[in-house]
Amino acid sequence: MSQHRIAVVGGTGPQGRGLGYRFARGGHDVVLGSRSAERAEEVAAEVRGRLDGLGGAGEVSAATNDEACREADVVLLAVPYDGHDELVASLPLAGRIVVSCVNPLAFDKRGAHGLVIDHGLGSAAESAQRLQPDATLVGAFHHVSAVTLWGEEDFLDGEDVLVVGDSREAKEVVMEIARSVTSRPGVDAGKLRLARQLEPLTAVLISVNRRYKTHSGLRVHGL
Amino acid sequence: MSQHRIAVVGGTGPQGRGLGYRFARGGHDVVLGSRSAERAEEVAAEVRGRLDGLGGAGEVSAATNDEACREADVVLLAVPYDGHDELVASLPLAGRIVVSCVNPLAFDKRGAHGLVIDHGLGSAAESAQRLQPDATLVGAFHHVSAVTLWGEEDFLDGEDVLVVGDSREAKEVVMEIARSVTSRPGVDAGKLRLARQLEPLTAVLISVNRRYKTHSGLRVHGL
């Protein structure tokens, strides 16, 4: 397995922290990024505590979001959709594989549903690609629960990571990184525009979680 | 288990035929509908042939789409999205539970993707509800493969049927009917508007099928 140096933009949020933990546990070096380097260091220390005594783990460090991206070959965007475009436009992402797990959702009294991006013809991942034409965007890790990621299981091996992107090579890198989460490669789910389908699907899982009091995930049958 | 009399509008297409076969195999009476009653009878005979010798199967008959709906308490819409609204508006659906498995998809050289309905704020199921305000719409069975439905397995028990709707009672009926497909109840996945997420997700499964040469389906982990 190739080791990567992965920056997690939004590394102090529950999804970023959980994925950073899993990536490091799988042997990758992880730089947790945040607006505040101090806050990032607090969470990095917490993650290092969880990894203590586990063989083969990568290093976990902390930085501002900007510095974290500069140090990495792969960048995970794990930020809220609110303010997404401004933040993404400001980051040094050129030449990097940029993985978006951003879920643009809205909530009202009927529950969660997908936000409509670009009149239904867009997604957070596609917005990021447009804002950063020299980065290579991949969509993945939308459906793994922060709670499960931070949990005690060795792997989320009942779940699959669906991976979309227009670069086959970048997808292969991310599919391999997904091994650190599910114990097997992510599933190549097609072109980047299918992020339009993957991102709001999280609203369905949130509904399932509410109804069944669980932290659900997805598995692709038939592979 | 309650037995239902289920009309399949579009019962001669691969999805309608496959679901009709599974419903009848599970003990429900099925009326396969088509524009042509003769064509429906050909397919009904084919389905009866598949059920021959299986204990507990329901009856399978044939009719025009319109007649099929009149005879049924549950109606499955298994029609292409092209022409969907005109057909749905014309059918006698008032007072019935109407299950939509319609997938509004578009195809181009980059593969399948979701059609944008009502600027991203609609779905085939919601359109059907608007056109038939006295019917009770439920979205389900979007992701089961026609090939697998028509196959030899007793049940598609590696897959789940995600069920959305605004009537809890109607959803419960459809979740029970899903037993005939997967051997266990469908999964309550939230309100009808989440059909916006379920319908185009089929484009992702089509991409997976093309990449991995399979007939994929979905399983919800964590229930």
Candidates A160, A155, A167, A146; CA nearest to A198 is A160
Q: Tell whether A70 is covered by a domain.
A: yes
Find residues 119-138 of chain A whose CB sits inside 8 Å of chain B.
Answer: 119-121
pTM of this prediction?
0.97
Put simply, the answer to whether B119 touches A120 (Cβ < 8 Å) is yes
- Mean pLDDT, chain A, as a whole number? 97
Are residues A218 and B205 in contact, defined by beta-carbon separation less than 8 angstroms?
no
Q: Tell whether B197 is covered by a domain.
A: yes
Residue B88 has pLDDT above 80, yes or no: yes
**ipTM for the whole complex:** 0.95
3-state helix, strand, coil in chain B (%, to 5): 40, 20, 40
Q: Tell whether B218 is covered by a domain.
A: no
Candidates B120, B201, B116, B212; CA nearest to A195 is B201
**Which residues from A are below 8 Å from B189, CB to CB?**
204, 207-208, 211
In this prediction, residues B1-30 reach a mean pLDDT of 96
**Domain at A63, CATH number:** 3.40.50.720
Q: Tell whether B94 is covered by a domain.
A: yes
Q: Tell whether A217 is covered by a domain.
A: no
Q: How far is B152 from chain A (nearest CA, A)?
A: 15
- Which of A110, A115, A197 is best to mutate for the B interface (most B CBs within 10 A)? A197
Residue A178 has pLDDT above 90, yes or no: yes
Are residues B194 and A204 in contact, defined by beta-carbon separation less than 8 angstroms?
yes
Q: What is the total count of domains within chain B? A: 1
Put simply, the answer to whether B219 touches A223 (Cβ < 8 Å) is no
Reading the block at residue A105, the tokens are 């959702």
A193 touching chain B per CB within 8 A: yes
Q: Tell whether A117 is covered by a domain.
A: yes
Which residue in chain B is spatially nearest to A114 when comparing CA positions?
B197
Residue B128 has pLDDT above 90, yes or no: yes
Query: Predicted confidence band at B2 (pLDDT cuts at 50, 70, 90)?
Result: confident
Question: What are the pLDDT digits (tens) for B61-77?
Answer: 999 999 999 999 999 99
Q: Tell whether A218 is covered by a domain.
A: no
Q: Tell whether A108 is covered by a domain.
A: yes
Domain region containing A187: 5-212
